[in-house]
Structure 1
Amino acid sequence: MRFKISLPGVILVMTPVLAVLLCFFSILYGAKQITADIIWQSFIHFDPENVDHQIIISSRLPRVIGAMLIGAFLAVSGALMQGMTRNDLASPSIMGVSDGSVFVVTLFMVFLPDAPSTLLITFSLIGSALGAGMVFGIARLIPGGLTPVRLAILGTIIGTFLSGVSAAAASYFQISQNVSFWYNARLDQMDPALIKLSIPFAIVGLALAIGISKSISVLSLGEDVAAGLGQRTWIVKLISMLAVVILTGISVALAGKIAFIGLIIPHISRFLVGVDYRRIIPVSAALGGLFLALCDIISRFVNAPFETPIGVVTALFGVPFFLYLIRTKGGGRHA
């Protein structure tokens, strides 16, 4: 009896193993050295009076779990955006979705500084929708605005504008230090309570992404082809953007703006498993989580004993990849 082994299956099977290894190394390395024995003891015999145990359970474990979740969310968002628009340059950070979240989060901190954390996620989701709506709405009004490179340029312009307004508001209301967290994402400040609050939103966003994956595969062939096959393309796009807004919004609420995950990972996934989004989406989630957790570990060694902002590490990979896409494909994908 022969068993057929598929690459997506291998990736998804190996993901838990690699995730456990990354969790171990993420907990092991940091400003304070912690031994493997202490890590083991903190899980089987947690002592609330032990400082090392508190660091592991309250800080380092939520940090790596949050990194994996955020990486997965952003990678899935990027995959949906690239498939929906047939634009190789599409990602939440480039299309203004992340900047929209940061903008509204800034307003939230200015006008509702004492509001509960649940509202932070809500406002971040509203901001994601605002950013996406501004970019795609203005793109439709400009001749050729929906072409890949122009859409990327427009997203960058609007994102920069929203970031500038946010920075100005933060400076005027003297909350720059608080808001800087969302611009220079630092996973070490991950809030375990906020992670728990984000889980229901994440389930909805990922369920929408998986549920729409077959339709995205058809839509990625072109709107005319999809319409010819009887697909209501506007419904597919609406559901896709809803998933993107949810997943990007909770990512920003958890750790701030992190760029390039949604750009790089979907391309790697597509290269590994082909053009079927029923495979691309789960593989993107797996690779995205592992990639951001790995970048987080690397950030601790770049300028040890100080931590390098995670955005700097992802940019080391993302900027060359972005330039490569512009040079080789111009952002467009041709079926």
Structure 2
Amino acid sequence: MVIQQHIGKSIGILISLAVVAFLFLMSLAYGYTNTNVHTVYQAYFAYDGSSAQTVIKTMRMPRAVIAALAGASLAVSGAIMQALTRNPMASPGILGINAGASLSVVVGMTVFSIYSLQGFMWMAFLGAFLAAVAVFFIGSTGSSGLIPLKLTMAGVVLGFLFSSITTGLLIINEGRLENIIFWLAGSVEGRKLDMVMPVLPFIAVGLFISFAISGKINALLIGEEAAKGLGQKTWLVKAMGLIVVVFLSGSAVAMAGPIGFVGLIVPHVVRGLVGIDYRWVLPYCAVFGASLLLAADIFARFVMYPTEVPVGVATAALGAPFFMYLVRRGVMKG
């Protein structure tokens, strides 16, 4: 029976990967420029320098790669956060990661006159890292040490603080608002593959660590005392989990800006399909997260044609109704 379940889940992974490949191809094939799947084939196997083929190679390919990587990173980090905090409402935003990254980018723009996407990327990664360290430090203070409730509350409070400071800086520097507003909404438009290479090692390490500790997370879900009774160093698992959150969500925010709902919705969908075994939950989250953000990016191109909306707005439009559906069905209760 167990072998049959593993076979079924393995087949499910393969089918999900096929869906990702299909959405990736659709992301390359369709947009404002009149192209199709045949044009994609010609762009890579019979390139003639035409504008349509150039658009596919230089504009659509980078945004598809970034959408897939960001979606996978956000979904896995969201699943890790929900396990660490034992809070079904947790997402990368709950620890103030998005808010910290946004504040760092706005500070870079207003104080250091940084306006390039590459500059935004590194400032976002720095802000995400510092926010996570601050939350971890505050959540660890006191005699009780690091517990889920303290970690969650620290993230919420610091997130509101970072957002308030960001809003204040934008009000003071109203003339520069247009330079940052599109990034703050979350977008993969106009990104280049040059933005992927610096953060790719962090994504790779984050995914590797998450898969490596997946079995220990299963033990932690039973209860902290039970996990300690099994000889597990729970503080080490939590620390490694926090590193995963910093690396994955920080990389996603650095590449695409703060995008919501992916890290919240995908883990619930996955657990509803494959159960609570994190050895399967995390790989499925990576694949489903990539699919969701690729689909949202395609949707964003046509929802208000000929004007494109940021993919962060599209994920909110897709995610908010589904989130309410989950609440009504009682999925969010645990």
CA distance in 1, matches of 2:315, 2:152: 19
Q: Does 1:168 align with 2:168?
A: yes
Q: Deviations over 1:218-240 (max 9, x none)?
A: 11122111111111111110110
Which aligned pairs between 1:165-204 and structure 2 lie closer than 5 A? 165-173=165-173, 174-204=175-205
**Partner of 1:31: helix, strand, or coil?**
coil
CA distance in 2, matches of 1:203, 1:320: 32
Which aligned pairs between 1:110-259 and structure 2 lie closer than 5 A? 110-113=110-113, 121-135=121-135, 155-156=155-156, 158-173=158-173, 174-259=175-260
User: How big is the shift at 1:72?
Assistant: 0.1
Q: Does 1:87 align with 2:81?
A: no
1:27/1:61 contact within 8 Å kept: yes
**Partner of 1:93: helix, strand, or coil?**
helix
2:34/2:52 contact within 8 Å kept: no
Amino acid at match of 1:220: L
Q: CA RMSD in A?
A: 3.1
CA distance in 1, matches of 2:325, 2:297: 24
Q: Could you tell me the TM-score, scaled by structure 2's length?
A: 0.86
Unaligned runs of 5+ in 2: none
Q: How many residues align?
A: 329
Q: Deviations over 1:105-135 (max 9, x none)?
A: 2223334446997775554333223333445
CA distance in 2, matches of 1:119, 1:178: 13
Q: Does 1:301 align with 2:291?
A: no
1:7/1:272 contact within 8 Å kept: no
Q: Are the structure 2 counterparts of residues 325 and 52 from structure 1 closer, same or farther at C-alpha, using a change threshold of 3 Å?
A: closer
CA distance in 2, matches of 1:139, 1:325: 29
Q: Deviations over 1:128-168 (max 9, x none)?
A: 233334456556779x99676x9767645543431232233
Amino acid at match of 1:61: M
Partner in structure 1 of residue 97 of structure 2: 97
Partner in structure 2 of residue 6 of structure 1: 7
- Identity, in percent, stands at 34
User: How big is the shift at 1:328?
Assistant: 6.9
2:20/2:287 contact within 8 Å kept: no
User: How big is the shift at 1:245?
Assistant: 0.5
**Partner of 1:130: helix, strand, or coil?**
helix
Q: Could you tell me the TM-score, scaled by structure 1's length?
A: 0.86
